[in-house]
Amino acid sequence: MLWFFLLLAALHNKYFYRLPSCGRALQHLIITPQKKNVTTINNYYELCNILFAVITNTMRIVLNLFCIALLATFSFNSFSQSQKPSIGITPGWVTKNAINYQQTGLEKDAIDGLIDLNYEMQIQLQDQSEYVSRSIKILSDAGVQNGSEISVHFEPTYQQLIYHTIQVRRGKQIINQLKLSKIKTIQQEENLNNFLYNGNLNAVLFLEDVRKGDIIEYSYTIKGYNPIFKNKYTEVLSTSFSSALYSLYYKILVPAGRKINIQNKNETLKPEISNSGKQTVYEWRKTNLSPIVTQDFTPYWYSAFGEIQISEFNTWKEVNDWALQLFPYKKDFSSSLKAKIAEINTNYTTAEAKARAAIGFVQDEIRYMGLEIGVNSHKPANPNKVFNQRFGDCKEKSYLLCCMLSAMGIKAEPVLINTTAKKEIFSWLPAATSFNHLTVKITIDNLSYWIDPTISHQRGSIKNLYYPDYAAGLVISDTTTTLSPIVFKHEGYESVRELFSVSKMEGAGTLEVTTEFKGYAADQVRENFQNYSIAEQKINYQKFYAAYYESIKIDSLSVKDNDSTGIFTVKEFYTIPDFWTIDKGKIKKFNFSPFVITANLRSPKEKNRKMPIRLAYPLFITEEIIIDLPSEWSVTENEVSLKSSSCEYNAKFFGSGNRVYLKTDYENFKDYVSVEEAPTYFANIKEFDKTEGYELTYKNTNTISSTSNEPSLKSSLANILITIFVLALLLGAFVWWTQRK
């Protein structure tokens, strides 16, 4: 593209200036009266010369423009080619390891019909190169299907993909399948559903003629690191996987003058350290890796896999100093952004009110979308641009909020967060790649407020805004030297009141549900109602209760949002045409339970726990069920209380006149159940299953009882057995009568 502009400028200086002068001469010849014949003839000659010059220059211009177009096309194609993979020889610094193709013993642990014989990653820091080699053995037809595609991921703005080998080994035969014409480069945005665009490419090759027993081998090098990290290297090397692997090899070449820090997690393997010229060589070798099987419902921060952490950062202060350059203090705001800041300053008097207004604007008016290409993976766009385009990702929304508040004289600092690792990050090596999110810390009158600008439609004062349990963060400031613990505070809850009404012992009944949400719960349900219409929500709400009452129909659904308290209220009205169920043709029954609490309880299938259990946190639900009956009912009062160090459930049912009550509450105290606590947790779940179902029965007297599913199941089986016995007697009698006749 540079050649295009240079040639365009040169052609303009050489040819384009002639057009105006030729035009002026032609205009002068036509308009000026001619008094003498000689002059006229000379002018005709001049006209011809001018016309010839115009035609000649025009042709030259067209020709040069054609050349420019060709050059531009060539330049564009060259630029496009740089985004496509190429073929090259294996770098000389790569260690070549022998592969045992005959090894067996791990096939029993193979998944997807294939097994990895060898995996290598070798890294040359000086050249910013990463060499990868892999050998896969196809064990079955499923392996042919699952292993016949080679996909390599790279970032085209700063990386180059170079293939060395792609081949199929079939006995002693080696079949080369490295053909660039068959490699398709596609842009596959994995985070598109999260409104994030990173421009990454996948080079995909669909192998031909792959058979059971084949060994697929390929190797490649990716050159180039993201320049945003200022040539500071960080990496996490996995040493255990969910699938079996025969041989694993890592190597890192560190040039003189550079130092890497190494730390293991769930791993005892140490590197072999040697010198090669002016480089230090670190090597790790591991063989016969059995797969790690993860149990269901483990916390997101928990990992049973072994890993080796690598980082050139020595302290969290170094990470902070790197991040400071990404979020400089801004003063040069656009006129539109200045106007918005002035508007908030004018309309609000206190710092809390101004901060709350700015938070609401960034959360609700700047939609979430990120163009995280190249250095923009970590570097935010200019706040003026984000304000004008009205969209940005977490770092851009947070940076904009910090700039707006700073302009109002309110202290605001960006905070780097890891949303999944949470408190685990305290045990990690310092690294710029340790974070996946950015939030804001606001300080007013020596009080700290933690704000997440990516949460939309929060309501209430700044003191009551919900901030997720991120546990730890790196506050980007001039004085930061380490990670900061973030104390989790929440006053959120979900309070449900379900009122069943039935006026007689036959026909329909009604259900009125009033649910009050606050804090984290209000944020979630408010977001749902922003994204889906009332009509769509009515369908979802009806489906919930239809799981218990098949004939139920929703009549209306309404919401109320209190901006000052942040409380969000939902009201639902239902008709239940078949309120009573008939048992044995005489006994009328109505079943109920704490529906919302039951839906939020988590009971993993794997009871013998070697790993913790993930719990929804925060979670606090109160649920009250009231049943208005046609007449007074006799009730046996009872209470249930199930408690552990991770959660608690309480229930109380009683009656008063023609009303029956069931009051329950459930709360999770943390986001996991430890391995040691698991037996108690499962015992409580089992007890809950026995006591959570309640049944109203109507015979000659009105009664209410708490029942488990087991007695009703036994009763049903008994009825079935009796029916079968009676039918068998009738069939026997019929056969006897036929034979007798």
Residue 301 gets which letter from DSSP? T
* Cβ–Cβ under 8 Å, residues 590 and 546: no
**Partners of 662 in beta bridges:** 625, 653
Percent over 90 (pLDDT), the chain: 71
Does 399 lie in the same domain as 421? yes
**What is the spatial distance between Cα 323 and Cα 318, in angstroms, rounded to a whole number?**
9
So what's the pLDDT on residue 77? 38
**What is the spatial distance between Cα 399 and Cα 449, in angstroms, rounded to a whole number?**
16
**Partners of 204 in beta bridges:** 151, 184
Rounded to the nearest angstrom, the gap between the alpha carbon of residue 141 and the centroid of all alpha carbons in its chain is 33
Q: Within 13 A of 253's CA, how many CA atoms are on the CB side? A: 21
So what's the pLDDT on residue 504? 85
CATH code for the domain of 265:
2.60.40.3140
The amino acid that residue 654 corresponds to is F
Of 485, 520, 547, the residue that ends a domain is 485
Does 463 lie in the same domain as 397? yes
Does 391 lie in the same domain as 332? yes
* Cβ–Cβ under 8 Å, residues 581 and 716: no
Does 383 lie in the same domain as 518? no
**Partners of 625 in beta bridges:** 498, 662
Question: How many domains does one find in the chain?
Answer: 5
Does 117 lie in the same domain as 73? no
543 phi-psi bin (left φ>0, alpha ψ -120 to 50, beta other)? alpha
Q: Which helix (H) or strand (E) holds 367?
A: strand 367-368
Q: Which helix (H) or strand (E) holds 46?
A: helix 37-81
- Token readout for 15 is 């040819």
* Cβ–Cβ under 8 Å, residues 590 and 705: no
Does 146 lie in the same domain as 33? no
- Token readout for 21 is 């002068």
DSSP string, 153-172: EE-TTT-EEEEEEEEEEETT
Does 557 lie in the same domain as 542? yes
Residue with tokens 């996946």: 436
35 phi-psi bin (left φ>0, alpha ψ -120 to 50, beta other)? alpha
Closest to 439 (Cα-Cα) out of 453, 429, 420, 449: 453
Does 696 lie in the same domain as 630? yes
Distances (CA, A) of 646 to 466, 649, 673: 21, 11, 6
**Partners of 411 in beta bridges:** 443
Does 355 lie in the same domain as 282? no
The number of residues in the chain equals 741
Q: What is the largest CA-CA distance in the chain?
A: 146
Residues (pLDDT < 70) of the chain are 1-82, 188-199, 584-585, 700-741
> Is the preceding omega at residue 618 within 30 degrees of 0, hence cis?
yes
The 8 Å CB, 24+ separation contacts for 142-145 are: 142/112, 142/113, 143/112, 143/113, 143/114, 143/212, 144/113, 144/210, 144/211, 144/212, 145/113
Does 152 lie in the same domain as 198? yes
Task: Kindly give the interhelix angle for 335-347 and 394-407, rounded to the nearest 10 degrees.
Answer: 60
Q: Which helix (H) or strand (E) holds 23?
A: helix 18-31
Q: Which helix (H) or strand (E) holds 517?
A: strand 509-518
- Token readout for 705 is 């009882």
For residue 346, count other CB atoms closer than 10 A to its CB: 8
Listed in sequence order, the residues at least 6 apart from 522 whose beta carbon sits closer than 8 Å to its beta carbon are: 459, 466, 492, 566, 567, 568
Give the helix ranges, DSSP H, for 232-389: 316-324, 335-347, 351-365, 383-389
Q: Is residue 86 part of a domain?
A: no
Distances (CA, A) of 483 to 384, 428, 472, 622, 726: 30, 11, 7, 36, 76
Does 308 lie in the same domain as 163? yes
Of 282, 312, 342, the residue that ends a domain is 312
Q: Which domain range does residue 260 map to?
A: 96-312
For residue 474, count other CB atoms closer than 10 A to its CB: 25
CATH code for the domain of 605:
2.60.120.1130
Listed in sequence order, the residues at least 6 apart from 740 whose beta carbon sits closer than 8 Å to its beta carbon are: none
Look at residue 401 and give its three-state secondary structure: helix
Q: Is residue 91 part of a domain?
A: no
Closest to 162 (Cα-Cα) out of 234, 77, 91: 91
Look at residue 190 and give its three-state secondary structure: coil
- Token readout for 359 is 């938070």
So what's the pLDDT on residue 197? 64
- Token readout for 72 is 């531009």
Distances (CA, A) of 358 to 114, 414, 519: 55, 15, 19
For residue 623, count other CB atoms closer than 10 A to its CB: 23
Sign of CA dihedral 191, 193, 194, 195: positive
Does 507 lie in the same domain as 572? yes
Q: Is residue 599 part of a domain?
A: yes
So what's the pLDDT on residue 53? 44
Q: Is residue 53 part of a domain?
A: yes
Q: Is residue 536 part of a domain?
A: yes
Of 485, 517, 552, the residue that ends a domain is 485
**What is the spatial distance between Cα 666 and Cα 205, in angstroms, rounded to a whole number?**
52
Listed in sequence order, the residues at least 6 apart from 734 whose beta carbon sits closer than 8 Å to its beta carbon are: none
Q: Is residue 448 part of a domain?
A: yes
Look at residue 421 and give its three-state secondary structure: coil
Which residues in 536-611 belong to E strands, given as ranges?
A: 553-561, 568-576, 581-583, 587-592
Closest to 582 (Cα-Cα) out of 691, 689, 697: 697
Q: Is residue 89 part of a domain?
A: no
* Cβ–Cβ under 8 Å, residues 468 and 519: no
**What is the spatial distance between Cα 114 and Cα 146, in angstroms, rounded to a whole number?**
8
